[in-house]
Structure formats: C-alpha cells, structure tokens
A and B are shown apart, each in its own frame.
Chain A
Amino acid sequence: MTFLDVASAVLLLAGAAQGLLGALGLVVLPSLLSRLQAATKPQTLGLLLILAGAALRVPFESAVTLLLVAVFQLITAPVIAQIVARSVYRSGAVRPEVLVVDELAQRLKRSDDER
C-alpha cells in the first residue's frame, strides 16, 4: 500500500460523500431552484474528486483522458443548470417575493421592449 493508494482512497471517499450529499439535497430541499443547486455543485465537486482519485492509480495517458471527463463535466454542468433554471423561471415557478435581486426580469423586459 503506497502513498498514492492512500491519497486515492481519501479522494474517492470524499467524492462519494459529496455525491451522496448532493443526492440527499435533491430529495430534501423544498423548491426546484434550490434542488438545482444540490444537483450541480456537490455533484460536480464529487465527480472531480472521484476522477482525481482514479487518475492517481492509472498510467499517465489514461489520467489525461480522465482529466478530459472532468473538463467536459465542468463545461456541461453549468449549461444544463442554466437551461433548466431559465425554464423554471419562465414557467413562473419562482416566487418573486423571496428574491433579493431579479436581474433576469429586467433583462427579459428590456428584450421584450425592443421587439
């Protein structure tokens, strides 16, 4: 059992714990927007930790491929969250009185005026 094995095990454990935390939030949290937080941030961090833990135990070329998975996850997770959140907003499920700032409303209003 080398140092790399121990480091990899710690990273895998932390990543799986993050994934579990995110899934728990997905079930427990009350509204769709807050569930979206749980669906993106802990999951991305968890996957990155797991990939780092796996990358420590494979040859260098495969570690680069795992890095590619991490990069794709970092690019795609915000895109999907953005599309879903905008759809939630458009469908009117967001209560405006609980928001402190609503920049999207001003922006949508402006683009409607220009039309």
Chain B
Amino acid sequence: MTVVYVIVVSMLVAAGALTLVRLFRGPDTLDRIAALDVFVVLIVGAGAVYVAFYQDVSNVALLVAFSLVAFVGSATAARLAAHRERHR
C-alpha cells in the first residue's frame, strides 16, 4: 500500500515542479496568478494525501482554512492585475 502513496506523492511533486516552471517563466502576471492558484490546489491535495496515509485528522480543518485564504489571495491578485492592465 505504501507504494501507492509513494507514486501519488511523486506525481503531485512532479505536478508542483511543472507549475513552478510556469510560475517562473510567466510571461504575464495573469499566468503567474493561474500557476499560483494551481500550486495551492496541489498543496491542499498533498495535505489530503497526508490525512489519508497517516489517518491523522487533526489537520483537516487547516485544509479548509488554506483553500479559503488561497481563494482570497488569488482573487485579490487577479483584480489588482486587471486594474493595472486597464490603466496601461
């Protein structure tokens, strides 16, 4: 069973690395915002994999908080970027 979790975590890490490539390469601010949002989703997914592996439910509430904070952050950044684009 551990093999399954190793595969799952390595897939998530690979996905995170690819997302970081997009985050660094850009080329646009909006690209980076989209990449950052995907990255946060991957982190929440990794947290859920942790919960499943250790059957440790003490961190489940953190996942809720993290996804909500990520939403506020991404929405604010996207609005700021939109504002800047319009005044260019």
Contact = CB atoms under 8 A, between A and B. Distances in A.
Interface of A: 1, 5, 8-9, 12-13, 15-17, 19-20, 22-24, 26-27, 32, 35-36, 39, 43-44, 46-47, 50-51, 53-54, 56-59, 61-62, 65-66, 68-69, 72-73, 76-77, 79-80, 83-84, 86-88, 90-91, 93
Contacts of A58: 51-52, 55, 57, 60
Where chain A touches its partner, the secondary structure class is: helix
Given A69-B44, A87-B78, A36 B64 contact: no
A111 B57 CA distance: 50
Where chain B touches its partner, the secondary structure class is: helix
Given A32-B30, A65-B61, A19 B75 contact: no
A1 B70 CA distance: 36
